[in-house]
Amino acid sequence: MNSLNLDEYLYESYYFQYPIDIEVTSITFNSKEVIPNSIFVAIKGFKSDGNNYIEEAIEKGTTLIVTETLPTKEYKDVGFLIVKNARKALAILSRILFEYPDKKLKIIGVTGTDGKTSTCFITYHLLKDLGYKVGLISTSNISVNESIIPSPYRQSTPEAPILFKLLRECANNKIEYVVLEATSHALSSYFSRLSKIKFDCSIITTITEEHLDFHKDKASYIKSKLKIIDKLKDDGILISTYKNPYLDRCLDKANKLNKQYFIVEDSINYQINNLDTLSPLSVNIKKRSYETNFYLPILISNAMLSCLAIKKLTNIKFKKIFNKLKNIDSIKGRFNIIENNINRTVIIDFAHTSDAFDKVFSFLTSFNKNIIALFGSGGERDIEKRAKMGLVAAKYCSTIVLCEEDPRYEDNDKIMRDIEKGINSTNNNVHLVKINNRKEAIIKAFELSYPNDILIFLGKGHEQTIERKNIKISYDEEKTIKEVIKTLYG
């Protein structure tokens, strides 16, 4: 049990009823997770209001209620902290409870519309191969010690109690660097999951647009992304690329905050090799060739961001860093080519935005124009991107199979119609098939294919579930595809 001194936090609140020092065991915003002597933060969510569960939390023995609303009645033996932003309070109190773990760590924050997870993965493995003790918190993987495991969390940047618990484990394990995927949600003032955390290095991959269901407009989305520059330490550095359409905005902000920044193309003169074959790419730098296990050019671009960040943080020579690229295996769910004996190129990729689609499809069409693409779009999320994805897919693909991704409570037929609007806006003669069930859609995609075709399955990547309403159904894209191949072709 920890003693939690709230003295430094009281200035953030405007009502406090309880002794300054309290004994606590944990912090949560889920009343079902409340245990004796825990803090319950009542958050007004999109679908439910945590204030409706205060009574349940008290019955379970909570020590302190944190809320944005004054209590309507008096409770004995329970403290109340009334704040302006309960989500921000959740982050700040989690940080206090876990004893400021971020202060013991060098944290590399990675954001962008696409490429965050890949850049995190590459940065983690390069640092580890260079001899550092490294932690990783990303969409696909978690590492707080010497091992790396699939992330069990739905959010790329976990909720604050989990995030600071993971950072505390990293600190306890004498981790030196933590590579942290920072989403626009986590960076936003609304969610504030990263409150008080300062980065030694902020990497921005590219910024296009996504999550407009939450951010409402592009300006709000970009503003959240750029907060990663605000979060730099006084001597922190910003790393980005000329491929970032909003680089000027990034650099303007960095200049105003007097932060150092470095651009990949100004620091590394590189050329990608083997682009004429669908095989692992190599990269030429200063007349030397460095091997990789990446098939997609954008992954090389992400790797260069990682290399530059490590160079500036550690002062290790580029040559030594580049030599480690060949030791990084392919990233699960990121342009994974599935070996098969059916004379077809079968690919799994996590791409789920129009910009990511364009990068993948434009690369593939240089090898084969017969592309069968299977994808959907997440329910209750960013409706505007759906038609754009359909438009890009129709530009490059001969056949499109629409299906579910994570429909949640939204009608998947409606989601597919939204995507279809973009497909129909082109004059391309695209064969369109719509099948709700993803496995059945995969079967149909193979049935429509011929030898030498490219089949690419988009949107799920590494994920292990499909979310239908409030039920998460176990699902593995690679396993499902291999089962379908075995069933259809023996």
CATH code, domain with 25 = 3.40.1390.10
Whether 127 and 33 share a structural domain: no
Kindly tell me if the per-residue pLDDT of 347 is higher than 70. yes
**Strand 270-273 to strand 282-285: parallel, antiparallel, or no bridges (unpaired)?**
antiparallel
User: What confidence score (pLDDT) does residue 211 get?
Assistant: 46
Domain boundary among 327, 361, 384: 327
Residue 437 pLDDT exceeds 80: yes
The tally of domains found in the chain comes to 3
Q: Is the pLDDT of residue 14 over 70?
A: no
Domain boundary among 327, 352, 369: 327
Residue 249 CA to residue 81 CA, distance in Å, equals 38
Q: Tens digits of per-residue pLDDT, 24-40?
A: 889 999 999 999 999 99
Share of residues in the chain with pLDDT > 90 (%): 79
Confidence band for 92, pLDDT divided at 50, 70 and 90 = very high
Query: What are the pLDDT digits (tens) for 161-178?
Result: 999 999 999 999 999 999
Q: Are residues 364 and 403 in the same domain?
A: yes
3-class secondary structure, 134: strand
The vertex-148 CA angle with 309 and 134, nearest 5°, equals 35
Exposed/middle/buried for residue 472 (C-beta within 10 Å: 0-12, 13-18, 19+): middle
Q: Which domain holds residue 88?
A: 2-92
pLDDT (mean) for 354-366: 95
Band of residue 73 on the pLDDT scale cut at 50, 70, 90: confident
Q: Tell me, yes or no, whether 301 and 340 share the same domain.
A: no
Q: Is the pLDDT of residue 398 over 50?
A: yes
The domain boundary, picked from 327, 350, 369, lies at 327
454-484 pLDDT, tens digit each: 999 999 999 999 999 989 999 999 999 999 9
| More confident position, 238 or 225 | 238
CATH code of the domain covering residue 356: 3.90.190.20
Whether residue 162 sits in one domain with residue 81: no
Residues 250 and 272 in one domain: yes
Q: Judge if 362 and 471 occupy the same domain.
A: yes
**261 and 319 in contact (C-beta within 8 Å)?**
no
Read off the pLDDT of each residue in 128-136 and give the average, rounded to a whole number.
98
Q: What are phi and psi of 38, to 5 degrees?
A: -105, 160
Please state, in angstroms and rounded to a whole number, the distance separating the CA atoms of residues 328 and 43: 41
- State the pLDDT at residue 21: 62
The whole-angstrom separation of Cα 283 and Cα 274 is: 9
- Residue 5: pLDDT over 80: no
Q: What is the pLDDT of residue 215?
A: 43
| Residue at 434: amino acid letter | K
What is the rounded average pLDDT for all residues in the chain? 92
- Residue 2 pLDDT exceeds 90: no
Tell me: do 41 and 139 sit in the same domain: no
Q: Are residues 421 and 354 in the same domain?
A: yes
pLDDT in tens, 207-220: 886 545 554 667 88
User: Scanning the structure block, which residue is given the tokens 């604050």?
Assistant: 160
If asked whether residues 376 and 461 sit together in one domain, one would say yes
Q: Strand 21-24 vs strand 2-5: parallel, antiparallel, or unpaired?
A: antiparallel
Residue that is written with structure tokens 């949600």 in the block:
185
If asked whether residues 182 and 286 sit together in one domain, one would say: yes
Residues 6+ apart with CB under 8 A from 246: 207, 222, 225
Q: Give the strands of the sheet with 79-83, arranged side by side.
A: 13-17, 79-83, 64-67, 38-41, 26-28
CATH number at residue 138: 3.40.1190.10
Place of tokens 């069968």: 372
pLDDT digits (tens, 9 = 90+) for 289-319: 999 999 999 999 999 999 999 999 999 999 9
**This prediction's pTM:** 0.92
Query: What CA–CA distance (Å, rounded) separates 248 from 255?
Result: 10
CB atoms within 10 A of CB 22: 16
* 280 and 360 both lie in a single domain: no
Report DSSP state, residue 12.
G
pLDDT digits (tens, 9 = 90+) for 319-334: 999 999 999 998 999 9
Do 168 and 81 share a structural domain?
no
Nearest CA to 28 among 181, 196, 201, 164? 164
